Amino acid sequence: MNNTKLSVVIPVYNEGESIPELCDRLQKILTSLNLNYEVIFVDDGSTDKTFSLLKERHNQHNKIKILHFNKNFGKAYAYSAGFASAKGEIIITMDGDLQDAPEEIPNFLEKMKEGYDLVSGWKYTGKGKRRFSSKFFNFVTSFFTKLPLHDFNCPFKAYRQEVAKNLHIYGELHRFIPALAYWKGYKITEIKVENYPRKYGKTKYGFGRFIKGFLDLITVIFLTQYIKRPLHFFGLFGLIFGVGGFCIDLAITVEGLAKGKIGHQALLLLGLFLIVIGIQFVFTGLLGEMIYSLRETKEEEHIVKQIVE
Ligand code: UDP
Ligand code: MG
């Protein structure tokens, strides 16, 4: 029988130096909670001693599980695999580089008791002030997703099992987990957590994360708001361009008829150009609708909370 109360999912990629301290601290705090737990390390294709150290821990302690990827697939896939195998009623995610303190896990569990589906960490202290780029990123994400959180990408989070298992994360979408969960109707809140500096090794992400982050934001807006109605998105641009172009050319035609000759070559071309682009946008939207209606897997479209018969 499964009576696991808590699963802690930790993606690790070349974090060998942190593993011993992390495991010690996790064991200490989790044992003190007096509940049935498991810690799932997802080794995302480490090339250092991470896996062998984890194996050692696993041999000493049956609560430690390891999912070992054969190459570096990325954090989103590590989460997906971790969530799929997690048995706990509540699932906690945190980083494996000691930037999140295991001692804060009980705060998440306390907050979850208030009935939330997802409690997300908010790194508001630590390393001094959050960088401007990160604040901006969070502000824009919050604006577009309509979810008022300060820190979407904080790895320290607690989920009800159903929420974690219902997320479909790939690529770099792990940065937007709260937004994806919110769109499925789950109840989300945040709690403040400390942000400790990295003790060992170095960050696995460079500056490129911000550019990719914004491209991913477009994906998220699409996935959450327009996937079921692509024509509303593309059609809007199509109509703006198409109608704009038509009006320009109409005005030129009327003027031309009045004067007996059609001039304004450049404007005429602009009008035509806009009409063609507009038509293309509308058809792209229609194609989107057709593709969506042909999808075979529709299970994630809605979540039935309760059936009363
Ligand atoms: N990580 C991973 N796969 C990757 C990159 C990172 O599993 O491809 C893990 C990494 O080992 C760490 C966590 O994800 O436990 C966060 O990575 P990192 O500390 O480099 O990110 P930052 O804290 O700088 O945002
Ligand atoms: Mg880190």
Rounded to an integer, the average pLDDT of 25-46 is 96
Q: Are 265 and 203 in contact (CB under 8 A)?
A: no
Instruction: Single out the residue of 22, 19, 76, 13 nearest to residue 45, CA to CA.
Output: 13
Instruction: With H, G, I as helix, E, B as strand and everything else as coil, classify residue 91.
Output: strand
Q: Between 202 and 292, whose confidence is greater? A: 292
Q: Of 3-7, 42-46, 273-277, which gets the smallest average pLDDT?
A: 3-7
Of residues 40, 155, 169, 47, the one with CA closest to residue 101: 155
Q: Quick one: how far is CA 150 from the chain centroid?
A: 14
Average pLDDT, the chain: 91
pLDDT of 126 reads 53
> In the structure, what pLDDT confidence band is assigned to residue 129 with cuts at 50, 70 and 90?
very low
Residue 184 near residue 303, CB atoms below 8 Å: yes
To test the pocket of ligand 1, the residue of 75, 79, 130, 153 to mutate (highest count of ligand atoms within 8 Å of its CB) is 75
Distance (angstroms) between ligand 2 centre and the Cα of 228 equals 35
For residue 207, is pLDDT > 80?
no
Q: What is the mean pLDDT of residues 262-276?
A: 88
Taking the centre of ligand 2 as the mean of its atom positions, its distance from the CA of residue 253, in whole angstroms, is 62
**CA 9 to each of CA 42, 252, 291: distance values in angstroms, whole numbers, following the listed order:** 7, 64, 35
Model confidence at 264: pLDDT above 70 = no
**To test ligand 1's pocket by mutation, which of 77, 204, 205 has the most ligand atoms within 8 angstroms of CB?**
204
Rounded mean pLDDT of 98-102? 95
The predicted structure's pLDDT at residue 94: 98
- Provide the 8-state DSSP code for 197: P
Q: Calculate what percentage of the chain has a pLDDT beyond 70.
A: 95
Res. 298 pLDDT band, cuts 50 70 90: low
> What's the gap in Å between 30 CA and the centre of ligand 2?
22
Residue ranges lining ligand 1, Cβ < 6 Å: 11-13, 15, 44, 72, 74-75, 78, 95-97, 99, 203-205
Length of the chain: 309
Residue 112 is predicted with a pLDDT of: 97
Q: Which of 13, 68, 154 should be mutated for ligand 1, with most atoms under 8 A from CB?
A: 13
The answer for residues whose C-beta is within 8 angstroms of residue 95's C-beta and 6 or more apart is 10, 11, 155, 156
With a CB cutoff of 8 Å and minimum separation 6, the contacts of 124 are 130, 150, 151, 192, 195
- Kindly tell me if the per-residue pLDDT of 185 is higher than 60: yes
pLDDT band, very low/low/confident/very high, at 73 (cuts 50, 70, 90): very high
Give the whole-number percent of the chain exceeding pLDDT 90: 69
Given a cut of 60, whether residue 127 has pLDDT beyond it is no
Tokens of 271: 């009008």
Gap from CA of 94 to ligand 2 centroid (Å): 10
Flag whether pLDDT at 308 surpasses 70.
yes
Write the single-letter amino acid at 5.
K
Q: Sheet holding 118-123: strands in order across?
A: 64-68, 37-43, 6-12, 90-93, 157-160, 118-123, 188-193
What is the whole-number distance in angstroms between the Cα of residue 144 and the centre of ligand 2?
Answer: 26
CA dist 115 and 164 (Å) reads: 16
Task: Name the least confident of 24-28, 154-158, 231-235, 255-259.
Answer: 255-259
Residue nearest atom 9 of ligand 1, based on CA coordinates: 12
Atom of ligand 1 nearest to the CA of 74: 8
pLDDT of residue 134: 80
Q: Give the pLDDT of residue 306.
A: 80
Pairing of strands 118-123, 157-160: antiparallel
* Higher pLDDT, residue 281 or 204: 281
pLDDT tier for residue 128 given thresholds of 50, 70 and 90? very low
For the cut 60, the answer to whether the pLDDT of residue 221 exceeds it is yes
| Phi, psi (degrees; rounded to nearest 5) at 56 | -55, -50
Spacing, Cα 99 to ligand 2 middle (Å): 6
Cβ-contact 176, 220 below 8 angstroms: yes
Which residue is closest in CA terms to ligand 1's atom 19?
Answer: 203
pLDDT band at 301 (very low <50, low <70, confident <90, very high): low
With bands split at pLDDT 50, 70 and 90, how would you rate the model's confidence at 71?
A: very high
pLDDT at 123 over 50: yes
Predicted pLDDT of residue 307: 84
